Amino acid sequence: MIEKDAGEPSFWEDSKVAQIRMRKLTKLKQTVQVWKDLEKDGTGLLELVELVIEDQDTSLEQQLFDEAERFLDEFQTREFQLTLSGPYDERACIISVQSGAGGVDSQDWSEMLLRMYLRWAEKKGYKSRMLDLAEGDEAGIKNATVEVEGSTAYGYLKAEKGVHRLVRLSPFNNDHLRHTSFAHIEVLPAADDEDVDVVIRPEELKMDFFRSSGPGGQNVQKVASAVRLTHIPTGIVVACQTERSQHQNREYAMTILRARLLQRRLEEKAKEMDEMRGERQSAEWGNQIRSYVLHPYKLVKDHRSNHQTSNADSVLDGDIDGFLNSYLLTIVGD
């Protein structure tokens, strides 16, 4: 259909839209070619099986097993990639960590989660960029926002949105009592030039500048370099204080704002408020999507897919693919 339309003179009247559709066509062709190649490999494997049976040539058995194993691995990989075929799954993503109920422990827990996602991105070979960070009063962080760039970054990390619960012996009280902490994770697809309906006009923005603050509210800069953007039509407010430069903070704030506006547009179009972000849940007991238990035993369990592991240290070091994959397969099953 796109190829047919591309032959019409009117197709190129809006060059931006035309380029978007041509990029979509290229991706579709690449996907079709992948499955055609897989079909060809499957046909070749069947021919090899028939040859072994017909000639009763046992010398080809090992080659047959090797080819079958390779084909199965490739097929399973491509099959799983079908779970990442959403319209925004290939994009970079904006992931935010917000401390919840649990005081200082939850702020420390939020910092642990932030490190987990940064380590995951590093192991995947993805780029990560800190857009905003507010440190805790005594330890950890109150909230942080990171952009993760890499193939299907949003497709994978969308599995993480929701409340994450930690159970451990608290390092922040003298009695080291068992303590439960919560943090909320928000994941948004990054907006890009293809989003023709996400337009921010200068007259729709209110911009304020303020001083960045460190732990305990201490001002760490004498210059008001932190930026707060208010999108007047929607009331969306975004603040960024990570960098010393007003210009850099404004750029990061705009990145977050565009992602939030894209989310809003998607929700409006779909008429389902939880389609992209999920229903906003309070970061407290009973709403968690995953629990991380470090005492009296070690166990990480996802309450949606029931995937679990006792290797909590590895998970907190970024080895979360098992949880991401099991959740995505659960969605397909539903």
21 contacts: CB under 8 Å, gap ≥ 6: 2, 5, 6, 11
**Chain segment 213-270, per-residue pLDDT in tens:** 655 444 444 456 889 899 999 999 998 988 778 888 888 999 999 899 888 887 776 6
Structure tokens at 289: 């999507």
DSSP state of 172: T
Distance CA 281, CA 293 (A): 21
* Residue ranges covered by each domain of the chain: 2-84, 88-334
- For residue 260, which amino acid is it? R
Give Cα 145 distance to the centre of its chain. 12
Q: Average pLDDT by consecutive 10-residue portion of the chain (334 residues)?
A: 65 64 70 83 84 76 83 79 83 95 91 97 95 91 95 93 94 84 94 73 88 53 74 91 84 90 79 52 67 95 96 97 91 60
Q: How far apart are CA 159 and CA 262, in angstroms?
A: 18
Residue with tokens 């590895």: 314
pTM equals 0.73
Using alpha carbons, select from 149, 157, 150 the residue that is nearest to residue 185. Answer: 157
Any idea which residue has 């490190």 for tokens?
Answer: 115
Q: Quick one: fold of 88-334?
A: Alpha-Beta Plaits (3.30.70)
Q: List Cβ neighbours of 181 (8 Å cut-off, separation of 6 or more).
A: 100, 101, 102, 105, 106, 108, 109, 165, 166, 168
